[in-house]
Amino acid sequence: MNYTVVIADIINSRMILNRKAFQKKLEKDLSAVSEKSGTIISPYTVTLGDEFQAVYTTPENVIKDYFCILMKIFPVKLRCSAGIGKISTEIKTDSSIGMDGPAFYNARKQMEDIKKIDYSIIQINSGDANQLRFINKNLNLMNKIMDRWKYNSLYIFNSLLHGKNFDDIAVDLKISKRGVYKVAETNCIREFAVVFNEIELLISNGDLKK
């Protein structure tokens, strides 16, 4: 059985003011995401001060959870790699530390490839260098554009990605529905949400095109 291992790295963590408070909040945020995600088997666990990881039963929800975390830590930026493959050790359900196998190798390899990128990004590795090339190119392009978004834009996008409507988003952000539409139209947010949902669906169904 294949699993999906997610390894994440906070960008420029040493520049964060009051890192102790940030790390404490990060742990709470990761716990909240782990509890709500329907496909996590080993919860998000901080491995170092600025790195954390989790294990999913399938790639489903990986992208959605990535954006949930990104929104919670805004404006801090995040590199995230997802490795698809087998896990050769016993699965631990209390934390994601102490396991190993191809899924972890693939995630670590992908993280090494994006280590120097200074904008928030998610990339996926199945062990085949060509299998996810087109999807990763699209993820890279969209993440680079989205890196310029302000909080409201990211919030609207994340909400649409999770199926919320404009009325509820307007209430959440305490702005008019027209204001939500304007932000969404200016940044093509609905189109971005459709593409990310399609990518997650392709990955979840195992339809990984070269």
Domain boundaries, the chain: 3-204
Edge to edge, the sheet with strand 3-10 lists 40-48, 51-56, 3-10, 78-85, 121-125
Q: What pLDDT is attached to residue 210?
A: 39
User: Is the CATH number 3.30.70 carried by domain 3-204?
Assistant: yes
* Listed residue (6, 101, 102, 89) closest to 51, CA to CA: 6
Contact 16, 24 (CB under 8 A): no
Q: What percent of the chain has pLDDT over 90?
A: 89
Residue 209: pLDDT over 60: no
Q: What is the pLDDT of residues 46-103, one digit of tens each?
A: 998 789 999 999 999 999 999 999 999 999 999 999 999 999 999 999 999 999 999 9
Contact 83, 5 (CB under 8 A): yes
User: In sequence order, what are the beta bridge partners of 54?
Assistant: 6
Contact 52, 30 (CB under 8 A): yes
Q: How far is CA 57 from the centre of its chain?
A: 15
